[in-house]
Amino acid sequence: MSGLSGGTVLVLGGARSGKSAFAETLARDSGHARHYLATGRAFDDEMQARIASHRSSRGEGWTTHEEPLDLLGRLAAIDDPATVVLVDCLTLWVTNLMLEERDVDAESARLAAALPGFRSMLVFVSNEVGLGIVPDNAMARAFRDHAGRLHQMIAARARTVYFVAAGLPLKMKG
C-alpha cells in the first residue's frame, strides 16, 4: 500500500471507527516483519477483554511488545529497516504518562523529534479527541490538549496521515 512507502504513518479516528483494523492492513500489506507495540494496560476485566480481542483479530505473524511508558526506548530497541511497527495507541500512552505524572509535552516532543531517525516503518494509531464538546473537568481537558498537541507533532513529521470514520479511511496527507 502506498501509505507505507517509508517513514511514519499516523492513523487517527474516533472510538470504534475502524482505525486499528485499517492500520493492521497497512502493516500487513507492507511486506515487512510485523511488530505490534501495545501501550494499553489491563487495569480491569473490560480492558483485559479489549486487549484479548485486539490480539485475536490481528491473527498470527506479529511480534507483540507491551510498553505503557517508554515508547521511544522500545521503538529504538526494535528499530530495523526490515520491520513495520504498529503502535496502538498514542492516546493510551498519553493516559499512562498522565497517570504516572510524567511531563507529557516533553515526552511527546522527544518522540516526535526522534521519528526521522527511525529505520523501521512506523504506524501510529490514535483517537482523535478534539471533535466533541469541551470536557467538563481539568484532567479531561488536559488529556484532550496533550493528545491534540501530540497528534499535531506526529502529523507534521509523518509522511502519511489518515483519518478513519465508519471504517472508511480518508487520506489527509501524503
Which residues form the catalytic set?
Answer: 54
Are the beta carbons of 165 and 23 closer than 8 angstroms? no
Question: And the C-alpha cell for 160?
Answer: 502519511
Q: What's the rounded Cα separation, in Å, for the pair 6 and 30?
A: 9
Q: What's the rounded Cα separation, in Å, for the pair 124 and 35?
A: 12
Are the beta carbons of 48 and 56 closer than 8 angstroms? no
For 124, phi and psi rounded to 5 degrees? -100, 135
